[in-house]
Amino acid sequence: MNDLLPGAVERWQHLEATVHRVLAAYGYREIRLPIVEKTELFARSIGTHTDIVEKEMYTFEDRNHESLTLRPEGTAGCVRAGIENGLLHNQVQRLWYGGPMFRHERPQKGRYRQFHQIGVEAFGMEGPDVDAELILMNARLWRALGIDELVLQLNSLGTPQARAAYREQLVRYLESRRDELDEDSRQRLAKNPLRVLDGKNPAMQEVIAGAPSLLDHLDEASRRHFEGVRATLDAAGVRYAINPRLVRGLDYYTRTVFEWTSERLGAQSAVCAGGRYDGLVEQLGGKSAPAAGFALGLERLAELLSVPAAVAAEASPQVYLALPGSDAERPGLLLAERLRDGGLRVECHCGGGGLKAQLKRADRSGARFALLLGDEELAKHCVAVKDLRTDAPQHLVAQDAAADYLKQRLSASA
Ligand code: ATP
Ligand code: MG
């Protein structure tokens, strides 16, 4: 679980602000959800025989001996909230939420125990158009963030019925190669065989590649649905690779599943994953409603991001007000207030000290200008303006005119 310090946090602010803007452009609205839910919510939605539920959840008993869990993902809580608040029955909802998720995994680069997602969920739309729109929204987001390297993998899991037939074939295949399976895969074979396809062990990749393809077992309606998604992506010029082994780590998906990956991230390469989950609302006690969504992994996206200089600059004050004059503190604070009234970002020196030390702090603040309020300036109701980033000569301006003067200098050099 990581601290995010000033200097790193600006990248996150830029990332989040950009995501919010793109989501709003598609009519998505924010929903805020609790971080803690009843444990059974996750067991019932994610699936009992998944890594998350079997070994990764932070689960505890509260004072009433109720079993609670720090959310390992957001979809389950969003569906619960949608059912409880009557948002899902016969309605269309486009929702998003963000915040920390918790999984007790082995920490490594790109994999943390507290990590952050922005999750997006679309309820009440069953056609392939919304699946495609979610992916187009992803593509627009990557453009807005200036990330151009992501590769889209696409698959369809079909309906649970079609998957059951496939599952039998897969089990037969895996049994026939049992000697080559690692311990993890043998356990998955016994409990949840499709999860073998999601194995990350390089030694298993050849066995996985030889497995029968889920796409050969799709029911007719799922096949048409998948064709619909692909046709829209083709028409919009979004490139993708069909990956018939893409199964995702959560059991609630049906039909479309997808993942965006980057080669720059090493082993933890997925920055965004999602798909359709038509059965989940009913499974959690609501009236049946189609749904699809995705989650962005913010740590991994932040890793790929470079913040535009103009955005980074906004994290610093534009002006540092130094107060070398005796009794300059109060007039200084009041002058700083007036400059902020004028729309400037101002850091006002507090705590005294010599001019040299104050200018050192001014420089470190990242401000473009230092303003000096010494005894002489105080007496004349002026302030001296020192450009910290060029050799321009120091300039004396009336305090009343300072805000306009500074804004003009700032916009002249922008
Ligand atoms: P992975 O295959 O990387 O384990 P997952 O299938 O568990 O991912 P999801 O539960 O679908 O992933 O989560 C969506 C996204 O959240 C992932 O693509 C990834 O970017 C991010 N993510 C998941 N787990 C972690 C983690 N422990 N630390 C950081 N980011 C994570
Ligand atoms: Mg995982």
pLDDT (tens digit, 9 = 90+) per residue, 270-301?
Answer: 999 999 999 999 999 999 999 999 999 999 99
- Residues 348-387 as b or e (16 or more Cβ within 10 Å = b): bbeeeeeeeebbebbeebbbbbbbbbbeebbeeebbbbbe
At residue 36, the 3 state secondary structure works out as strand
Q: Which of these, 269, 245, 158, lies nearest to 194 by C-alpha position?
A: 245
φ/ψ of 267, rounded to 5, equals: -65, -35
Ordered alpha helix ranges (H), 108-193 = 128-145, 160-176, 183-191
- Is position 281 within any domain? yes
Separation of CA 123 and ligand 2 centre (Å): 24
* 261 and 408 share one domain: no
- Domain endpoint, select from 271, 304, 337: 304
- Is position 169 within any domain? no
At residue 273, the 3 state secondary structure works out as strand
Separation of CA 103 and ligand 1 centre (Å): 10
* 139 and 253 share one domain: yes
Q: What is the distance of C-alpha 337 from the center of its chain?
A: 36
- Domain endpoint, select from 304, 339, 362: 304
- Is position 3 within any domain? no
* 278 and 378 share one domain: no
- Is position 64 within any domain? yes
CA-to-CA distance for 197 and 175, rounded, in angstroms? 14
Q: Which ligand is nearest to the CA of 46?
A: 1
In the annotated binding site for L-histidine, the residues are 73-75, 103, 117, 121, 248, 252-253
* 137 and 237 share one domain: yes
Separation of CA 273 and ligand 1 centre (Å): 8
pLDDT computed for residue 287 by the predictor: 96
pLDDT tens for 317-367 read: 999 999 998 999 999 999 999 999 999 999 999 999 999 999 999 999 999
Q: For 339, what's the count of Cα atoms within 13 Å in the CB-facing half-sphere? A: 27
- Is position 15 within any domain? yes
Q: Output DSSP code: residue 52.
A: I
- Domain endpoint, select from 275, 304, 333: 304
CA-to-CA distance for 33 and 44, rounded, in angstroms? 18
In the annotated binding site, the residues are 73-75, 103, 117, 121, 248, 252-253
At residue 297, the 3 state secondary structure works out as strand
CA-to-CA distance for 261 and 268, rounded, in angstroms? 9
Which among 42, 101, 271 is the best mutation to test ligand 1's pocket, defined by most ligand atoms within 8 Å of the CB?
101
For residue 335, the domain's CATH number is 3.40.50.800
* 145 and 289 share one domain: yes
Given a contact cutoff of 8 angstroms between Cβ atoms, the answer to whether 109 and 268 are in contact is yes
* 341 and 253 share one domain: no
Which among 300, 301, 303, 304 is the best mutation to test ligand 1's pocket, defined by most ligand atoms within 8 Å of the CB?
300
- Is position 185 within any domain? no
pLDDT computed for residue 250 by the predictor: 64
For residue 261, the domain's CATH number is 3.30.930.10
Q: Would you write out the chain's pLDDT as a tens digit for each of its 414 residues?
A: 999 999 899 999 999 999 999 999 999 999 999 999 999 999 999 888 888 998 999 999 999 999 999 999 999 999 999 999 999 999 999 999 999 999 999 999 999 999 999 999 999 999 999 999 999 999 999 999 999 999 999 999 999 888 888 989 999 999 999 999 999 999 999 988 988 998 888 999 999 999 999 899 899 999 999 999 999 999 999 999 999 989 876 678 899 999 999 999 988 899 999 999 999 999 999 999 999 999 999 999 999 999 888 888 899 999 999 999 899 999 999 999 999 999 999 999 999 999 999 999 999 999 999 999 999 999 999 999 999 999 999 999 999 999 999 999 999 987
- Is position 208 within any domain? no
Residues with Cβ < 8 Å from 19, sequence gap 6 or more?
A: 98, 118, 141, 296
* 51 and 143 share one domain: yes
- Is position 352 within any domain? yes
Given a contact cutoff of 8 angstroms between Cβ atoms, the answer to whether 362 and 348 are in contact is no
* 38 and 108 share one domain: yes
**Structural domain count, the chain:** 2
* 278 and 320 share one domain: no
Q: Domain residues for 53?
A: 8-158+218-304
Separation of CA 268 and ligand 2 centre (Å): 9
* 127 and 45 share one domain: yes
CA-to-CA distance for 151 and 79, rounded, in angstroms? 29
Given a contact cutoff of 8 angstroms between Cβ atoms, the answer to whether 152 and 258 are in contact is yes
Given a contact cutoff of 8 angstroms between Cβ atoms, the answer to whether 96 and 121 are in contact is yes
Ligand 1: residues with CB < 6 A are 73, 103, 105, 110-112, 115, 117, 248-249, 268, 270-273, 295, 297, 299-300
* 134 and 283 share one domain: yes
CA-to-CA distance for 290 and 233, rounded, in angstroms? 21
pLDDT computed for residue 251 by the predictor: 72
Residues with Cβ < 8 Å from 176, sequence gap 6 or more?
A: none
* 274 and 353 share one domain: no
